[in-house]
Homo-oligomer: A and B are copies of this chain.
Amino acid sequence: MTPASDLAALAALLADETRAAMCLALLDGRAWTARELAAHAGVAPSTATAHLHRLVEGRLLVERRQGRHRYVQLAGPSVAQLLEDLSARIEPRPTTPRGLRAATASAALSRGRTCYDHLAGRLGVAVTDAMTARGLLDQSGGFALTPAGGAWLTDVLGWDPAEPRPGHRPLVRGCLDWTERRHHLGGLAGAKLCETFFGNGWVTRIGSGRAVRLTPSGRAALRNHLGITLD
């Protein structure tokens, strides 16, 4: 009814630890089944059903029914961006992983991961920095693509950012990285770039999570196109 109650209703969707865990899991950009999310969050399937209903009703998630499965995913980049913005506000965690498994998993996440549909972690930041150093991105007054950057994207991705694009998702956007505390490249261009990294086999997912690994051909590509050497 009032703006305040609207804001409260939106915030209430994320104000429960179970729902928050579900949304954060969905930040990998993929569609999960209800049962997977229930197991991930550690609640009974009946409880998960209620939560997912609320999240879909609140337009944070969209669902796609397929046979006896109910797949659910984030409603779009703007939701992912909102979750990332909120996460970035949280004080940097003292990083005390329990054991070896947790330690290697968190190290892998710091090295490289996806942030919904673009690259993040040290890999994402390194790519962004190299693009800035080469004059492809301009971070001096905001976060913008230069003309040279447009040409570079056309060259590397075979995609011309100048061609008319649907929706009003920004072409580029600085997305605050919660491990590096610096910006990496988001927006439509970031998504296209990430798509190419996967399509060309430059990165592969590690297991089933958000962590990614740079392949040897990816290392070569970074050297060729950006002149940087990683790891």
Contacts and interface: CB of A to CB of B under 8 A. Distances in A.
Interface in A102-154: 138, 140-146, 149-150
B20 A142 contact: no
A87 interface: yes
A85 interface: yes
Q: How many subunits of this chain does the assembly comprise?
A: 2
Interface residues of A, number: 49
Q: Which among A10, A171, A172 has the greatest number of chain B C-beta atoms within 10 A? A: A10
A7 B87 contact: yes
A8 B3 contact: no
A173 interface: yes
A15 interface: yes
A56 interface: no
Interface of A: 2-8, 10-21, 23-24, 41, 78, 82-83, 85-87, 89-90, 93, 138, 140-146, 149-150, 161, 170-174, 187, 189
